[in-house]
Amino acid sequence: RLCLQPLWDFVTAKEQLIKSPFFPVLFSFTAYMAFCLPYIALDFLSTRLPNLRKYKIQPQNYPTLGMMVPCIIQSAYHHVVLIFPVTFLHWYCRPLNLPVIAPELPEVLLEVGACLLLFDFEYFLWHLLHHKVPWLYKTFHKVHHKHVSTFALTTQYSSVWELLSLGFFAAINPVFLRCHPLTEIIFFLVNIWLSVEDHSGYDFPWSTHRLVPFGLYGGAPHHDLHHLKFKSNYAPYFTHWDKLFGTFTES
Protein backbone atom coordinates (compact mmCIF):
# COMPACT_ATOMS: atom_id res chain seq x y z
CA ARG A 1 0.00 0.00 0.00
CA LEU A 2 2.83 2.38 0.88
CA CYS A 3 4.25 1.69 -2.56
CA LEU A 4 1.10 2.74 -4.43
CA GLN A 5 -0.31 5.41 -2.09
CA PRO A 6 1.66 8.32 -3.66
CA LEU A 7 0.44 7.26 -7.10
CA TRP A 8 -3.14 7.02 -5.86
CA ASP A 9 -2.86 10.42 -4.15
CA PHE A 10 -1.72 11.87 -7.48
CA VAL A 11 -4.72 10.30 -9.23
CA THR A 12 -7.27 11.43 -6.64
CA ALA A 13 -5.89 14.98 -6.85
CA LYS A 14 -7.48 14.98 -10.33
CA GLU A 15 -10.80 13.77 -8.91
CA GLN A 16 -12.95 16.29 -10.80
CA LEU A 17 -11.44 15.22 -14.12
CA ILE A 18 -11.72 11.50 -13.35
CA LYS A 19 -15.36 11.86 -12.32
CA SER A 20 -16.17 13.74 -15.52
CA PRO A 21 -18.25 11.83 -18.12
CA PHE A 22 -15.62 12.84 -20.70
CA PHE A 23 -12.72 11.19 -18.89
CA PRO A 24 -13.22 7.54 -20.04
CA VAL A 25 -13.23 8.54 -23.71
CA LEU A 26 -10.27 10.92 -23.36
CA PHE A 27 -8.36 8.34 -21.33
CA SER A 28 -9.04 5.49 -23.77
CA PHE A 29 -8.25 7.40 -26.98
CA THR A 30 -5.19 9.17 -25.55
CA ALA A 31 -3.71 5.93 -24.18
CA TYR A 32 -4.43 4.13 -27.45
CA MET A 33 -2.76 6.76 -29.63
CA ALA A 34 0.19 7.10 -27.22
CA PHE A 35 0.85 3.34 -27.42
CA CYS A 36 0.48 3.39 -31.21
CA LEU A 37 2.86 6.31 -31.84
CA PRO A 38 6.16 4.43 -31.25
CA TYR A 39 5.08 1.75 -33.71
CA ILE A 40 3.97 4.36 -36.25
CA ALA A 41 7.46 5.85 -36.05
CA LEU A 42 8.98 2.37 -36.43
CA ASP A 43 6.88 1.68 -39.53
CA PHE A 44 8.36 4.72 -41.25
CA LEU A 45 11.92 4.24 -39.96
CA SER A 46 12.25 0.50 -40.53
CA THR A 47 11.79 0.87 -44.29
CA ARG A 48 15.11 2.71 -44.29
CA LEU A 49 16.96 0.99 -41.45
CA PRO A 50 17.81 -2.72 -41.91
CA ASN A 51 18.57 -3.10 -38.19
CA LEU A 52 14.91 -2.35 -37.45
CA ARG A 53 13.54 -4.24 -40.44
CA LYS A 54 14.75 -7.57 -39.08
CA TYR A 55 12.21 -7.31 -36.24
CA LYS A 56 9.25 -6.96 -38.62
CA ILE A 57 7.20 -10.16 -38.65
CA GLN A 58 6.17 -9.65 -42.28
CA PRO A 59 9.10 -7.57 -43.60
CA GLN A 60 7.69 -7.51 -47.12
CA ASN A 61 4.61 -5.54 -45.96
CA TYR A 62 4.65 -2.00 -44.62
CA PRO A 63 1.68 0.27 -43.90
CA THR A 64 1.43 3.51 -45.83
CA LEU A 65 0.10 6.84 -44.64
CA GLY A 66 -2.97 6.17 -46.77
CA MET A 67 -3.60 3.00 -44.75
CA MET A 68 -2.99 4.65 -41.37
CA VAL A 69 -5.18 7.75 -41.72
CA PRO A 70 -8.51 5.88 -42.18
CA CYS A 71 -7.72 3.83 -39.04
CA ILE A 72 -7.15 7.00 -36.99
CA ILE A 73 -10.29 8.68 -38.35
CA GLN A 74 -12.43 5.60 -37.68
CA SER A 75 -11.09 5.23 -34.12
CA ALA A 76 -11.73 8.91 -33.32
CA TYR A 77 -15.23 8.68 -34.82
CA HIS A 78 -16.07 5.56 -32.79
CA HIS A 79 -14.85 7.14 -29.56
CA VAL A 80 -16.84 10.35 -30.03
CA VAL A 81 -20.05 9.05 -31.61
CA LEU A 82 -20.35 5.57 -30.08
CA ILE A 83 -18.21 5.09 -26.99
CA PHE A 84 -18.98 8.46 -25.42
CA PRO A 85 -22.79 7.89 -25.20
CA VAL A 86 -22.15 4.50 -23.58
CA THR A 87 -19.67 5.88 -21.04
CA PHE A 88 -22.00 8.82 -20.35
CA LEU A 89 -24.82 6.39 -19.55
CA HIS A 90 -22.44 4.42 -17.31
CA TRP A 91 -21.39 7.66 -15.58
CA TYR A 92 -25.03 8.60 -15.01
CA CYS A 93 -26.12 5.17 -13.69
CA ARG A 94 -23.01 4.31 -11.64
CA PRO A 95 -21.37 7.38 -10.06
CA LEU A 96 -17.70 6.84 -9.34
CA ASN A 97 -16.51 6.80 -5.72
CA LEU A 98 -12.78 7.13 -5.10
CA PRO A 99 -11.54 5.58 -1.84
CA VAL A 100 -8.81 7.34 0.13
CA ILE A 101 -6.60 4.29 0.60
CA ALA A 102 -4.64 2.74 -2.26
CA PRO A 103 -4.65 -1.03 -2.84
CA GLU A 104 -1.65 -3.15 -1.97
CA LEU A 105 0.74 -4.04 -4.79
CA PRO A 106 0.21 -7.85 -4.61
CA GLU A 107 -3.55 -7.25 -4.75
CA VAL A 108 -3.17 -5.07 -7.87
CA LEU A 109 -0.94 -7.61 -9.63
CA LEU A 110 -3.28 -10.49 -8.80
CA GLU A 111 -6.42 -8.65 -9.90
CA VAL A 112 -4.89 -7.28 -13.11
CA GLY A 113 -3.77 -10.83 -13.96
CA ALA A 114 -7.26 -12.16 -13.20
CA CYS A 115 -8.88 -9.47 -15.38
CA LEU A 116 -6.52 -10.31 -18.26
CA LEU A 117 -7.20 -14.05 -17.99
CA LEU A 118 -10.96 -13.48 -17.87
CA PHE A 119 -10.85 -11.07 -20.82
CA ASP A 120 -8.71 -13.55 -22.75
CA PHE A 121 -11.33 -16.28 -22.21
CA GLU A 122 -14.24 -14.02 -23.21
CA TYR A 123 -12.41 -12.76 -26.29
CA PHE A 124 -11.48 -16.33 -27.29
CA LEU A 125 -15.12 -17.50 -27.21
CA TRP A 126 -16.35 -14.35 -28.98
CA HIS A 127 -13.61 -14.62 -31.60
CA LEU A 128 -14.07 -18.33 -32.24
CA LEU A 129 -17.84 -17.89 -32.64
CA HIS A 130 -17.40 -15.01 -35.10
CA HIS A 131 -15.09 -17.11 -37.25
CA LYS A 132 -17.13 -20.33 -37.16
CA VAL A 133 -20.48 -18.70 -38.01
CA PRO A 134 -20.18 -17.24 -41.53
CA TRP A 135 -22.96 -14.66 -41.00
CA LEU A 136 -21.28 -13.30 -37.87
CA TYR A 137 -17.91 -13.13 -39.60
CA LYS A 138 -19.24 -11.39 -42.71
CA THR A 139 -21.50 -8.99 -40.81
CA PHE A 140 -19.32 -8.03 -37.83
CA HIS A 141 -15.76 -9.34 -37.86
CA LYS A 142 -14.63 -9.16 -41.47
CA VAL A 143 -13.80 -5.44 -41.14
CA HIS A 144 -11.04 -6.22 -38.67
CA HIS A 145 -9.46 -8.67 -41.12
CA LYS A 146 -9.10 -6.11 -43.90
CA HIS A 147 -5.35 -6.03 -43.25
CA VAL A 148 -3.59 -9.40 -43.52
CA SER A 149 -0.37 -7.77 -42.31
CA THR A 150 -1.26 -5.93 -39.12
CA PHE A 151 0.14 -2.64 -37.85
CA ALA A 152 -0.56 -0.86 -34.57
CA LEU A 153 -3.45 1.26 -35.82
CA THR A 154 -5.38 -1.81 -36.99
CA THR A 155 -5.96 -2.69 -33.31
CA GLN A 156 -9.24 -0.78 -33.18
CA TYR A 157 -10.07 -0.96 -36.88
CA SER A 158 -13.26 -2.95 -36.42
CA SER A 159 -17.03 -2.86 -36.61
CA VAL A 160 -19.17 -1.05 -34.07
CA TRP A 161 -20.44 -4.35 -32.63
CA GLU A 162 -16.92 -5.71 -32.17
CA LEU A 163 -15.62 -2.53 -30.53
CA LEU A 164 -18.55 -2.27 -28.11
CA SER A 165 -18.73 -5.96 -27.20
CA LEU A 166 -15.00 -6.28 -26.49
CA GLY A 167 -15.10 -2.95 -24.67
CA PHE A 168 -17.93 -4.31 -22.55
CA PHE A 169 -15.83 -7.34 -21.56
CA ALA A 170 -12.94 -5.08 -20.56
CA ALA A 171 -15.20 -2.75 -18.56
CA ILE A 172 -17.28 -5.39 -16.75
CA ASN A 173 -14.45 -7.62 -15.53
CA PRO A 174 -12.99 -5.21 -12.92
CA VAL A 175 -16.54 -4.55 -11.67
CA PHE A 176 -17.26 -8.29 -11.46
CA LEU A 177 -14.00 -8.88 -9.54
CA ARG A 178 -14.63 -5.84 -7.28
CA CYS A 179 -11.32 -4.23 -8.19
CA HIS A 180 -10.03 -0.99 -6.70
CA PRO A 181 -10.37 1.97 -9.12
CA LEU A 182 -6.56 2.18 -9.38
CA THR A 183 -6.46 -1.50 -10.36
CA GLU A 184 -9.15 -0.80 -12.94
CA ILE A 185 -7.10 2.04 -14.48
CA ILE A 186 -3.95 -0.11 -14.57
CA PHE A 187 -5.85 -2.99 -16.17
CA PHE A 188 -7.24 -0.71 -18.88
CA LEU A 189 -3.75 0.58 -19.65
CA VAL A 190 -2.23 -2.91 -19.72
CA ASN A 191 -5.07 -4.23 -21.88
CA ILE A 192 -4.75 -1.40 -24.41
CA TRP A 193 -0.96 -1.80 -24.54
CA LEU A 194 -1.11 -5.57 -25.06
CA SER A 195 -3.73 -5.18 -27.80
CA VAL A 196 -1.57 -2.64 -29.63
CA GLU A 197 1.53 -4.81 -29.22
CA ASP A 198 -0.43 -7.81 -30.58
CA HIS A 199 -1.22 -5.89 -33.77
CA SER A 200 2.10 -4.05 -34.06
CA GLY A 201 3.66 -6.47 -36.53
CA TYR A 202 6.97 -6.48 -34.63
CA ASP A 203 8.75 -9.15 -32.60
CA PHE A 204 11.45 -7.62 -30.40
CA PRO A 205 13.73 -9.39 -27.90
CA TRP A 206 11.85 -7.56 -25.13
CA SER A 207 8.34 -8.29 -26.47
CA THR A 208 5.89 -9.52 -23.84
CA HIS A 209 5.67 -13.07 -25.16
CA ARG A 210 9.44 -13.45 -24.67
CA LEU A 211 9.18 -12.36 -21.04
CA VAL A 212 6.51 -14.95 -20.15
CA PRO A 213 7.99 -18.48 -19.86
CA PHE A 214 6.87 -21.84 -21.32
CA GLY A 215 5.10 -20.29 -24.32
CA LEU A 216 2.09 -19.38 -22.19
CA TYR A 217 1.75 -16.01 -23.90
CA GLY A 218 1.51 -15.78 -27.69
CA GLY A 219 2.08 -12.10 -28.32
CA ALA A 220 2.43 -10.40 -31.69
CA PRO A 221 3.70 -13.47 -33.65
CA HIS A 222 0.73 -15.50 -32.37
CA HIS A 223 -1.86 -12.90 -33.40
CA ASP A 224 -0.10 -11.92 -36.62
CA LEU A 225 -0.39 -15.53 -37.76
CA HIS A 226 -4.12 -15.40 -37.05
CA HIS A 227 -4.51 -12.45 -39.43
CA LEU A 228 -2.38 -14.22 -42.01
CA LYS A 229 -4.07 -17.65 -41.85
CA PHE A 230 -7.56 -16.77 -40.43
CA LYS A 231 -8.23 -20.27 -38.98
CA SER A 232 -6.16 -20.51 -35.79
CA ASN A 233 -4.89 -18.59 -32.73
CA TYR A 234 -8.19 -17.05 -31.64
CA ALA A 235 -7.15 -16.04 -28.11
CA PRO A 236 -5.73 -12.51 -28.00
CA TYR A 237 -2.98 -13.02 -25.44
CA PHE A 238 -2.47 -16.44 -23.87
CA THR A 239 -2.11 -19.76 -25.69
CA HIS A 240 -3.83 -22.27 -23.38
CA TRP A 241 -7.36 -21.97 -24.84
CA ASP A 242 -6.16 -22.47 -28.41
CA LYS A 243 -4.14 -25.49 -27.30
CA LEU A 244 -7.13 -26.98 -25.45
CA PHE A 245 -9.50 -26.46 -28.40
CA GLY A 246 -6.99 -27.60 -31.03
CA THR A 247 -6.86 -24.18 -32.75
CA PHE A 248 -3.23 -23.39 -31.85
CA THR A 249 -0.67 -22.86 -34.61
CA GLU A 250 3.00 -22.41 -33.80
CA SER A 251 4.22 -19.01 -34.95
Q: pLDDT digits over 112-171, tens only?
A: 999 999 999 999 999 999 999 999 999 999 999 999 899 999 999 999 999 999 999 999
Mean pLDDT for the chain overall: 92
What per-residue confidence (pLDDT) applies to 150?
A: 93
Alpha-carbon gap, residue 28 to 138, rounded angstroms: 27
Beta bridge partners of 56: 202
Q: Return the domain boundaries, the chain.
A: 4-245
Number of H-type helices and E-type strands within the chain: 13, 0
Q: What is the pTM of this model?
A: 0.93
Q: What is the pLDDT of residues 48-68, one digit of tens each?
A: 888 888 999 998 888 999 999
What per-residue confidence (pLDDT) applies to 48?
A: 85
Alpha-carbon gap, residue 86 to 89, rounded angstroms: 5
DSSP characters over 123-185 = HHHHHHHHHHSHHHIIIIIGGGGS-SS--GGGTT-S-HHHHHHHHHHHHHHHHHTT--HHHHH
Alpha carbon separation from 96 to 13, 91, 188, 206, 217 (Å, rounded)? 15, 7, 16, 36, 33
What per-residue confidence (pLDDT) applies to 223?
A: 95
Cα 87 to the chain's mean position, in Å?
18
Q: Which residues contact 33 (CB under 8 A, 6 or more apart)?
A: 72
Alpha-carbon gap, residue 26 to 14, rounded angstroms: 14
pLDDT confidence tier of residue 91, bands split at 50, 70 and 90: confident
- Tell me phi and psi for residue 121, to 5 degrees: -65, -45
Residue type, 156: Q
Q: Which residues contact 166 (CB under 8 A, 6 or more apart)?
A: 123, 126
Q: Given CA atoms 144, 77, 69, 17 in this order, what sign does their dihedral have?
A: negative
pLDDT over 70 (residue 1):
no
Number of neighbouring beta carbons within 10 Å of residue 148: 12
pLDDT over 90 (residue 10):
yes
Alpha-carbon gap, residue 159 to 181, rounded angstroms: 29
